[in-house]
Structure 1
Amino acid sequence: MKRLALVLALCLSGAASAGPLSDLIMAEGVFADARAGAVLQYSLSRNGPGDAAPAQSVLRLLVMEDNGTKFLLLDQESGGTRSEIARFPAASANPLLLYFLENIVRDMSQATGGNPFYIRNRIRAALIAAEAAPGSDGRITVTLEPFAADPNRDRLGAFAGLQLQLSFAPEEPGRLLSLKADTRAGPGGYSEEMILTGGE
């Protein structure tokens, strides 16, 4: 999927100026040592404008091996139909995170007419600027508002208040526990949520 490859390049292009959060969740090769056959499974629910994903579906990230070469396969199941989204090198950043972020970029761009490169860069800047400290439950839960101080807020509609929340255990940053996006704008708003439901 070219779209995912593009967001991967954009997210990693700021590696030299990465921050505590992006160092953890955008790290390359987070699944490089996972055994072939390992699977992470997430529920995906979304509501609002755009068509990046079905309203309800299941995402799976599988660690595969072909002729001695390990790779990551991201697929999606909805309405009893399973389809492959993309394949990634084992040394890539987390495909589930990239898919989640790119859904937001696509839907926001469609809804607002905004430039997807601009939207990606604002989200990437928020990730780089964020701290990553464990809470009382031992998890790292980070809430971002990429467009809170954006000079173009008045053009973004409900997405001006977009809030992203990521949660994971610091010892397993690749095993994201939840990923949430919400414009907090009531019935006319947008939300997307991925929750870890199983995996090895």
Structure 2
Amino acid sequence: MKPTILAATLAALLMLGGTPPLAQTPPAADTAPVTKASTAAPNASDLLFEQPQMKNVPPGTKLTYGYIRRSGISKGPFGPPMDDTIKLGIEPGKSADARDIRVEMFSGANRFPAGPFEDMPGNPVMTLFLEHHLMDMARVLSANPRYIKNAIRKGLRDNATVTPTTIDYKGRTVSAWRIETQPFLEDRMKDRMRGMENIRYTFVTSDAVPGELVSIEAQSKNAEGGELLQESLTYDPNAG
């Protein structure tokens, strides 16, 4: 896949201008949160999608991310529990900070076609996770996927907290950023969310980690604390 195609995908996911369309159907101690309005913290969307995250990944490296999905909604509309991996094979790109990237998205019967990506400065696994999540959410909620996409985009733009934190990476403590948003709490369509309007998206990034992405989590619980959805992606530094 050419970089312009992925760039268009990223722009569609997190485009900063315009008005969202109507739905067709409905690891360490943190300090005090710092909102994107503060000059002490980067913008959430810029931090996640505009940085050359692959610049610290040597060609010949394979990055492995563990993927887990669980759901407690009756009859399991998200499907059976899933525990799999997404693997990225890294080769030199045309520029110093970019890489050519091969993707193995899940395995066996879960296999999902993705990539390859050419001359990519950013880490495509973030978009791969979100695109897969959006498809499932749209199906489960009988909703317009563009509406969900725009709500997440707006949440990261206007209502995200960016918190400095630390993580343990290969036995040492390194600096990281924690980004959180709950984009549907005040959404005008929240009554159609099947109780999932409280879904929280949490991203952890660190420039000390290859590819910079440490983890992504999408989590929603009902009023009794029961799990409606637990979906996560976590970098595995010990996998080859």
TM norm structure 2: 0.67
Question: 2:122 — aligned with what?
Answer: 93
Aligned partner of 2:62 among 39, 42, 52: 39
Q: Secondary structure at the match of 1:107?
A: helix
Question: 2:170 — aligned with what?
Answer: none
Give the aligned length: 196
- What is the one-letter code of the residue matched to 2:185? A
Shift, 1:28, TM fit: 5.3
Cα distance change, pair 81–104 in 1 and its aligned pair in 2 (3 A)? closer
Instruction: Using the aligned pairs only, state the percent identity.
Output: 24
- What is the one-letter code of the residue matched to 2:84? S
Cα distance change, pair 155–144 in 1 and its aligned pair in 2 (3 A)? same
Shift, 1:156, TM fit: 1.1
Give, in whole Å, the separation in 1 of the partners of 2:59 and 2:48: 21
Counterparts of 1:3-152 in structure 2 under 5 Å? Answer: 5=6, 7-14=9-16, 20-27=43-50, 29-32=52-55, 34-48=57-71, 49-50=77-78, 55-65=82-92, 70-79=99-108, 85-91=114-120, 93-129=122-158, 130-135=160-165, 138-152=175-189
TM norm structure 1: 0.79
Whether the 8 Å contact between 1:54 and 1:78 is mirrored in structure 2 is: no
Give, in whole Å, the separation in 2 of the partners of 1:163 and 1:153: 14
Give, in whole Å, the separation in 2 of the partners of 1:135 and 1:25: 16
Flag as ranges the 4+ runs of structure 1 deviating above 4 A: 65-70, 79-84, 170-173
Whether the 8 Å contact between 2:220 and 2:227 is mirrored in structure 1 is: no
Shift, 1:124, TM fit: 1.0
Q: Secondary structure at the match of 2:150?
A: helix
Question: 2:215 — aligned with what?
Answer: 178
Give, in whole Å, the separation in 2 of the partners of 1:94 and 1:81: 22
Shift, 1:67, TM fit: 9.4
Cα distance change, pair 136–29 in 1 and its aligned pair in 2 (3 A)? closer
Where do 5+ consecutive residues of structure 2 fail to align? 18-35, 37-41, 72-76, 168-174
Across the aligned residues of Structure 1 and Structure 2, the Cα RMSD in angstroms comes to 3.5
Deviations 1:40-75 (A, max 9, x none): 211101123336x97111111221248999412221
Deviations 1:115-167 (A, max 9, x none): 10110011011112324231366322222101011000001113212111111
Where do 5+ consecutive residues of structure 1 fail to align? none
